[in-house]
Amino acid sequence: MSYKEQYDFWLEDDYFDQATKDELRGIAGDEKEIEDRFYKELEFGTGGLRGVIGAGTNRMNIYTVRKATQGLANYIISQGGREKGVAIAYDSRRMSPEFADVAALCLAANGIKAYVFDALRPTPELSFALRTLHCISGIVITASHNPPEYNGYKAYWEDGAQVTAPKDKEIIEEVKKVTDYHQVKTMDKDAAIAAGLYQVIGKEIDDAYMEELKKQIIHPEIIKEVADDIKIVYSPFHGTGNVPVRRILSELGFKHVYVVPEQELPDPDFTTLDYPNPEDPKAFELALKLAKEKNADIVLATDPDADRLGIYALDTSSGEYIPFTGNMSGMLIAEYILRERTATGTMPENPALVTTIVTTNMAAAIAKDYNVKFIEVLTGFKYIGEQIKLFEQTGSNNYVFGLEESYGCLAGTHARDKDAVVAVMCLCEMAAWCKKNGITVWDQMLKLYEKYGYYKETQYAITLKGIDGSKQIAEMMDKLRNDPPKNFGELAVKEFRDYDRDVTRDLETGEERPTGLPKSNVLYFDLTNDSWCCARPSGTEPKIKFYMGVKGTSIEDAQDRVEKLTEALKSYI
């Protein structure tokens, strides 16, 4: 059907409710809007669904969510997993509770039990819950840090990680097979509860989750020693982190935790934020104001589904609060864990540190220093989660820590996704250690730079919406792939990796070898002077992202180098 025929079908068919039809009648005559809503199905990709909330095939609504769930249910049944059930969590966004119920009742109608949280919960707790309940799969209704008009649907498998190959493609195929909305099953909620196919979960999972987090603490005695002195400001950005973050810090003994009052409660419109993302400096305005009033040591914020952590730390020499990238905060936590586990004799045998290919190169330097195996995977925390599963299956290594540049990390194996609640806990323990030793968190970051080198990373993204946008992004990737640049400004390309074609080419010798990682539409340029650049279309937004990294001799030198590399990239594209 053409987009116009799809529009008419939604207007006329009895399957769709009156509110949906009224919304669609409201755009009658707006050809561009009708086309955008119906020119394609909202794509169920390797990360699930994500899109603008509204009526239409290319939107997040109860019909597209139910249709995707029918595909997932068909796959679960084909894998013999019907009896194991599915855990479902949701965040504070518009329609999140409704989408969670729509998914649960579709599963129930297919004879698959749904375990649904009684209120909003962090994404990492869903990962923990599905493993604790021995479920075959899990669903989180969240659009993470996207703007308020978005919502999303992330699918997890029984290991607790987001679905990886080959299952991701197999699920996508099952979802694509559901072409008729009338094939999609659902049932009455009371009937599902009576049949034992819909079960509410809550406190029992929360308590078990908290106990697992506490196992990652190395020096509880240091927290108690400085509890009267250390001051922490925290914002949950109107999301799911408020209750678990406050609870874990309180139970560990931190006494001075100040929550930003304007951003404490759930708010699907994120009224106090332009963009609920801890990567955005503007999102910290209220937290920094409170931090100055309280003279806080550190300022923390978690994104709405509490899987990412952003931080600022006080520089006592200037009196200013310094922003930390995800690479910086991740390195602080990683180095603290590796150092203190080594010092206390609690490092497991064959320890491993896992990062993604676009994470700072400082991670490799730190891992080498502590004699920890360093492993790089594709972008996306599910690949880090996959490594934990492989370690357990083969006994080859023991996972100690994993991180990605986009403000996500995981200490421990209680979850298989990035966990901002455990990250807050580890960061605060590290800050307590700094306090005990008479230094600030910023001082500690400078020590790492002095020891390992002044690594600096940045991102450059181009957003191109609509049909033409995806075509332009594909053309950009084709140009880089088929005619890779020999240099970016003064930096020569030493090695070029095309993960889609599984080829690594040495530009000096012309020698080629496999990349060693799964097929993915990602291009990586290893440059001279310990620099690099990587190109990757986003899987969740209409944009192409370029990641870059350099190593300098000082903060200023690293900044200068990364700016020159960014300009060279812009000139090329």
Please state, rounded to an integer, the average pLDDT across all residues of the chain.
Answer: 96
Looking at the fold, whether 416 and 458 belong to one and the same domain comes out as no
Q: Which of left, alpha, beta for 529 (phi over 0: left; psi -120 to 50: alpha)?
A: left
Residue of 542 and 133 predicted with greater confidence: 133
Both 391 and 528 in one domain: the answer is no
The answer on 498 and 382 residing in a single domain is no
Under a CB-based contact definition with an 8 Å cutoff, are residues 209 and 244 in contact? yes
**Alpha-carbon distance 486 to 506, whole Å?**
11
How do 523-527 and 531-537 pair as beta strands? antiparallel
Residue 306 confidence (pLDDT): 97
Residue 506 located in a structural domain? yes
What's the rounded mean pLDDT across residues 306-326? 97
Residue 540 pLDDT greater than 70, yes or no = no
Our separate counts of H helices and E strands in the chain read 19, 23
96 has catalytic annotation? no
Same domain, 412 and 464: no
Q: Can you give the three-state secondary structure of 381-410, one letter per residue? A: HHHHHHHHHHHHHHCCCEEEEEEECCCEEE
Answer whether 0.85 is exceeded by the pTM: yes
Q: Is residue 176 part of a domain?
A: yes
Whether 93 shows a pLDDT value over 70: the answer reads yes
**Is residue 420 predicted with pLDDT exceeding 70?**
yes
DSSP bridge pairs for 454: 552
pLDDT tens by residue, 383-413: 999 999 999 999 999 999 999 999 999 999 9
**Per-residue pLDDT for 233 more than 80?**
yes
Given this model, what pLDDT does residue 539 score?
A: 67
Q: Which residue, of 190, 208, 226, is where some domain finishes?
A: 208
Phi and psi angles of residue 144, each rounded to the nearest 5 degrees, phi first: 55, -115
Its domain, for residue 121, covers 40-208
29/20 Cα distance (integer angstroms):
17
Partners of 399 in the beta sheet? Answer: 352
Q: How far apart are CA 133 and CA 54, in angstroms?
A: 33
- Out of 137, 144, 329, 520, the active site residue is 144
User: Which CATH number covers residue 396?
Assistant: 3.40.120.10
Say how many domains are in the chain: 3
Q: What is the mean pLDDT of residues 39-56?
A: 92
CA dist 240 and 375 (Å) reads 31
From 349, 298, 343, 352, select the one nearest 323 (Cα to Cα).
298
Two tokens, residue 82: 């019907």
Q: Is residue 339 part of a domain?
A: yes
pLDDT tens digits, one per residue of 204-225: 999 999 999 999 999 999 999 9
Beta bridge partners of 398: 351
Q: State which H helix or E strand residue 355 sits in.
A: strand 351-356
Residue 559 is assigned to a structural domain of this protein: yes
* Among the listed residues 100, 78, 87, the one whose alpha carbon sits nearest the alpha carbon of residue 127: 87
Percent of the chain with pLDDT over 90: 93
Cα-based torsion angle of the residue sequence 433, 242, 407, 255 in order, rounded to the nearest 10 degrees: -10
3-state class (DSSP) for residue 471: helix
Give the tokens for residue 528.
Answer: 């001279």
Task: Give yes or no: residues 414 and 500 share one domain.
Answer: no
Is residue 6 a part of any domain in this protein?
no
Contacts of 119 (CB under 8 A, 6+ apart): 202
Q: In angstroms, what CA-CA distances link 408 with 246, 355, 381, 540, 553?
A: 19, 10, 8, 16, 27
Instruction: Report pLDDT digits (tens) over 445-463.
Output: 999 999 999 999 999 999 8
522 shares a domain with 390: no
Write the CB contacts of 27 (distance below 8 Å, at least 6 apart in sequence).
33, 34, 37
| Residue 466 confidence (pLDDT) above 80 | no
> How far apart are alpha carbons 226 and 245 in whole angstroms?
19
Largest CA distance in the chain: 70
Identify whether the C-beta of residue 532 lies closer than 8 Å to the C-beta of residue 356. Answer: no
**Would you tell me how many other CB atoms lie within 10 Å of the CB of residue 5?**
10
Terminal Cα distance for the chain, rounded: 37
Other C-beta atoms closer than 10 Å to the C-beta of 30 total 11
DSSP class of 53: B
Q: At what angle do helices 242-252 and 203-214 cross, to 10 degrees?
A: 50
In the predicted structure, residue 185 carries a pLDDT above the cut 90: yes
- The answer to whether residues 139 and 189 belong to one domain is yes
Is there a domain that residue 477 lies in? yes
Phi, psi values for residue 445, rounded to 5°: -65, -40
Domain match, 409 and 526 both: no
Residues 103 and 157 both lie in one domain = yes
Measured distance CA(97)–CA(151) in Å, rounded: 11
**Which uninterrupted H or E stretch holds 220?**
helix 220-226
Residue 47 is predicted with a pLDDT of: 81
In whole angstroms, what is the distance from residue 410 CA to residue 404 CA? Answer: 9
Task: Report d(CA 106, CA 110) in Å as an integer.
Answer: 7
> Based on the domain organization, do 495 and 390 belong to the same domain?
no
Q: Are residues 458 and 563 in the same domain?
A: yes
Same domain for 403 and 463: no
- Structure confidence at residue 572 as a pLDDT band (50, 70, 90): confident
| Residue 307 in domain | no
- Assign 471 a pLDDT band (cuts: 50, 70, 90): confident
End position of a domain, from candidates 402, 420, 438: 420
DSSP E strand boundaries for 426-537: 454-463, 487-488, 491-498, 503-506, 512-513, 523-527, 531-537
Domain-ending residue, one of 420, 443, 476:
420
Contact 423, 333 (CB under 8 A): yes
- Residue 101 within any structural domain of the chain: yes
Taking Cα atoms as reference points, which of 367, 298, 304 lies closest to residue 329?
298
**CATH code: domain of residue 519:** 3.30.310
